[in-house]
Chains A and B, each alone.
Chain A
Amino acid sequence: GAGVSQSPRYKVAKRGQDVALRCDPISGHVSLFWYQQALGQGPEFLTYFQNEAQLDKSGLPSDRFFAERPEGSVSTLKIQRTQQEDSAVYLCASSSPGNTEAFFGQGTRLTVV
């Protein structure tokens, strides 16, 4: 596609529910990143994939957070047993081997009530 696509754009979850957030990177981009952006803050790194391999998951805040990219393209970020502190915008970004900059999707705004 023309850009990074994320779905859904908005998600409201009741506390304790599981959620799954989807990211379609730019075609051909091997690197994929997930970031969490709390209200009024800068994005914070969650995890990084190169193709299907998850090379860095040091930013995942707890074992309730899980990400996968099984075929090296679409990625899913799953949050189990959501808590209010998980409320944030989740941003996905991708980059190609020849580029140093990452291109971001519009994000998914998660609200846990």
Chain B
Amino acid sequence: AQSVAQPEDQVNVAEGNPLTVKCTYSVSGNPYLFWYVQYPNRGLQFLLKYITGDNLVKGSYGFEAEFNKSQTSFHLKKPSALVSDSALYFCAVRAHMDTGRRALTFGSGTRLQVQP
């Protein structure tokens, strides 16, 4: 079985400060890892993914995430937060394609609040 933990329900950060949203995962074999963002009354928007290769992946809107295999983590980061980054963030995992299961398993979400 695969699972994702997002230990923080909410993260508060001041505009201009760096932000981190935490994610740990459990999956059999090599993981595919994703971050999605959800704005009110909107669907999920893809931010970035880790498939293989460089542990630091860069995505949309200045976000990046670091894959750490030994800690089974995939934390989302941004060097300088914007008020417009305030939204609900979801981490998701799926097993490598060869193992068959294509569905994503999502965490419970972390609400990011950026104060002006």
Contact = CB atoms under 8 A, between A and B. Distances in A.
Interface in A47-101: 48, 50, 55-56, 59, 91, 93, 100-101
A42 B109 contact: yes
Interface of B: 4, 32, 34, 36, 41-46, 49, 51, 90, 92, 97, 101-109
A4 B46 CA distance: 13
A25 interface: no
B52 to A, nearest CB: 10
Nearest to B36: A104
A7 interface: no
B43 A42 contact: no
Contacts of B107: 42
Interface string A32-43: 010100001111
Given A4-B43, A42-B108, A91-B44, A100 B103 contact: no
B43 A107 contact: yes
B107 to A, nearest CB: 5
Interface string A12-54: 0000000000000000000101010000111111001010000
Contact of A31 (B34, B41, B102): B102
Contact of B49 (A101, A103, A107): A101
A41 B109 contact: yes
A56 B102 contact: yes
Contacts of A56: 101-103
Contacts of B102: 31, 33, 48, 50, 55-56
B106 A42 contact: yes
Contacts of B34: 101
Closest 6 CB pairs of A and B: A42-B106, A45-B103, A104-B43, A104-B44, A106-B43, A42-B108
A102 B105 CA distance: 12
